[in-house]
Amino acid sequence: MLMRTSRGLLEDVEAALKAAGLPPLAWYDVLLELEKAGNEGMRPFELKNRLLLPQYGTSRLLDRMVTAGLVDRQDCEDDGRGQIVSISDSGRETRASMWPVYGKVLVTRIGAKLTPEEAIQLARLLSKI
């Protein structure tokens, strides 16, 4: 039941983002993690670990986001082969424009069906697993 509900929720978020002419949900997740990382950015492998994506998927996703101007990539001073990725100003704006669409789906699919106490309890239970 949990997997079915999760899949349906993600499909609804993807559809709403697409209808609004916004990037896919995976892009939101990357932008959010990079925004949380601040100006220092992070190494791609750190991002991969936070998002639980395969290495090849993370590389391709970052390539597309760099091309779109949402993410900046710089060589790592400590490691000649490594890179640091960070969110660009355009990426911040895009993430901010995605949230109202994403949030509305969450409120409709989850928030409208749970009391505030139930939502807190659900978050607490999910954090245990």
Contact 122, 114 (CB under 8 A): yes
pLDDT: which is higher, 87 or 55: 87
Mind listing the pLDDT tens digit for each residue in 25-68? 999 999 999 999 999 999 999 999 998 777 778 889 999 999 99
Residue 101: per-residue pLDDT: 97
Separation of alpha carbons 23 and 98, rounded Å: 8
DSSP string covering the chain: -HHHHHHHHHHHHHHHHHHTT---HHHHHHHHHHHHHGGG-B-HHHHHHHHT--HHHHHHHHHHHHHTTSEEEEE-SS-TT-EEEEE-HHHHHHHHHHHHHHHHHHHHHTGGGS-HHHHHHHHHHHHH-
Domains of the chain: 2-128 (1.10.10.10)
Instruction: Provide CB contacts within 8 A for 99, sequence distance 6+.
Output: 28
Kindly state the tokens that stand for 22.
């916004």
pLDDT at 119 over 90: no
Backbone angles phi, psi at 74, to 5 degrees: -135, 155
Residue 56: per-residue pLDDT: 79
Q: Chain-centre distance of CA 111, in angstroms?
A: 20
pLDDT at 123 over 90: no
Residue 21: per-residue pLDDT: 97
For the packed helices 25-37 and 89-109, what is the interaxial angle rounded to 10 degrees?
120
